[in-house]
Amino acid sequence: MSATTPRLQLAILLTLTVCLALSLAAGTPTAFGQTETQLTYATPSEAMQALVAAVKAKDRAALGAIFGPEHEQLLSGDDVEDSNDLDEFAEAVSESAELLKVNEEKYTVVVGKRNYPMPIPVVQKDGKWVFDTKAGLDEVLNRRIGENELSAINTCRAYAIAQWEYFTEGDWDQDGVAEYAQKMISTPGEHNGLYWETGEGEKPSPLGKLVAAAREEGYGPKTGKTIQPVADKDAPAHPRAPFHGYYFKILKGQGPHAPGGKYSYVINGNMIAGYALVAYPDKWGNSGVMTFLINQQGRVYQKNLGADTAKLAASITQYDPDPTWKLADVQP
């Protein structure tokens, strides 16, 4: 992995990924060094050296003791994303790890060729030095949420492009009707969704490039993770798993607040009147905050549905951005 990728900054800063990835490797979903105590050190340098050694050795028990009981609040919930972040974090630590003095009682660990700072500082407490995991929680969450939300917006836009390609470039189900796809993943052997397997030299399916990029990150058949809309009941069975902290669901109609009013996109079994998608966070306040909507007009709307996001998003069946939904002010 390259230390210069845009994703690396978050990967390095999210020291939480050490927690989850190591617990996964050991076959336990949340355990991370079963300890309620936290190690202290005589000097900041000793603390940093302990972290570097534990990361390189992938020593679960040592890392649990280094970060202490607050570490579980750092878990993101996206196994693939967290494992990839750990790999990049470990690579950066191998390149370089140094201490940056903030004041007499606080140091920052900077890692990698570009000297990225960790959000969890080393601080002096009762004459000893310790990683202040609690102090870094907000920064870790803010950075993770920001990247995941941007990914969700871009995935919504990729979905819109894929639907237009599906509509304009072929009669995929050979029924003589130009239509939008009602599924993300095609039934095996068919082209009734935005993605289907293609052979060497064949043109990728409309979502082929996105799925290929996701597989490069670790999502896909080998891990059982895929971009699977939760309401796509007819799709091939895959374990429900978030993509960069978000779930995605196709919507087949719109409500009264959408331009043109309330109507179904599906006519005589074919989705020809439009398309829409909702994207919502797996863990509200952790993997993301905003829920997003897009339809054939290509504008992404966002709204914070709050702590009940999972329940409220599951009840969304139409594209219906009332005035409480705002345009996501992010340029493609």
Predicted confidence (pLDDT) per residue in 40-77, tens digit: 999 999 999 999 998 888 776 787 899 888 766 666 66
Same domain, 159 and 125: no
Ranges of residues in the chain with a pLDDT under 50 are: 1-35, 222-227, 229-231, 233-237
What residue ranges in 115-216 does DSSP mark as E strands?
116-117, 122-125, 128-131
CB 279 within 8 A of CB 248: yes
CB 16 within 8 A of CB 75: yes
Residues 187 and 323 placed together within one structural domain of the fold: yes
Encode 257-268: b = buried (16+ Cβ within 10 Å), e = exposed: ebeeeeeebbee
- Tell me, yes or no, whether 110 and 167 share the same domain: no
Q: 293 and 167: one domain?
A: yes
Residues 322 and 185 in one domain: yes
CA separation for the pair 136, 120 (Å, rounded): 4
Residue 158 counted as domain residue: yes
Residues 38 and 115 in one domain: yes
Domain presence at residue 1: no
In 185-196, which positions are buried (b, 16+ CB within 10 angstroms) versus exposed (e)?
bbeeeebbbbbb
Gap between the Cα atoms of 197 and 190, Å rounded: 10
Cα gap 111→131, rounded to integer Å = 15
Q: Is residue 136 part of a domain?
A: no
Q: Within a domain: residue 141?
A: no
Tell me what pLDDT residue 82 has.
Answer: 65
- pTM of the predicted model, to two decimals? 0.74
Q: Strand, helix or coil at 109?
A: strand
Within-domain flag for 148: no
Q: How far apart are CA 260 and CA 256, in angstroms?
A: 8
Does 124 share its domain with 174? no
Domain end residue (candidates: 100, 116, 131): 131
Is 106 within the bounds of a domain?
yes
Range of the domain at 206: 154-327
Specify whether 31 is located in the same domain as 106: yes
State both tokens at 69.
């009981």
The structure tokens listed for 61 are: 């028990």
In a domain, 332, yes or no: no
pLDDT at position 219? 64
Number of neighbours of residue 253 by Cβ within 10 angstroms: 19
Q: Do 73 and 169 belong together in one domain? A: no
- Quote the number of domains for the chain: 2
Nearest-angstrom CA–CA distance, 242 and 230: 10
Of 86, 90, 70, residue with least CA distance to 78? 86
β-strand 106-111 against 122-125: which pairing, if any?
antiparallel
Q: Kindly state whether residues 114 and 35 are assigned to the same domain.
A: yes
Tokens of 235: 């799709």
Query: Is the four-CA dihedral 211, 215, 216, 219 of positive or negative sign?
Result: positive
- Which residues 6+ apart lie within 8 Å of 298 measured at CB? 157, 160
> What is the distance of C-alpha 145 from the center of its chain?
8
Q: 143 in a domain, yes or no?
A: no
Q: Do 198 and 54 share a domain, yes or no?
A: no
Core vs surface per residue 48-72: b (16+ CB within 10 A) or e: bebbbebbeeebbebbbbbbbebbe
* Same domain (yes/no): 206, 310: yes
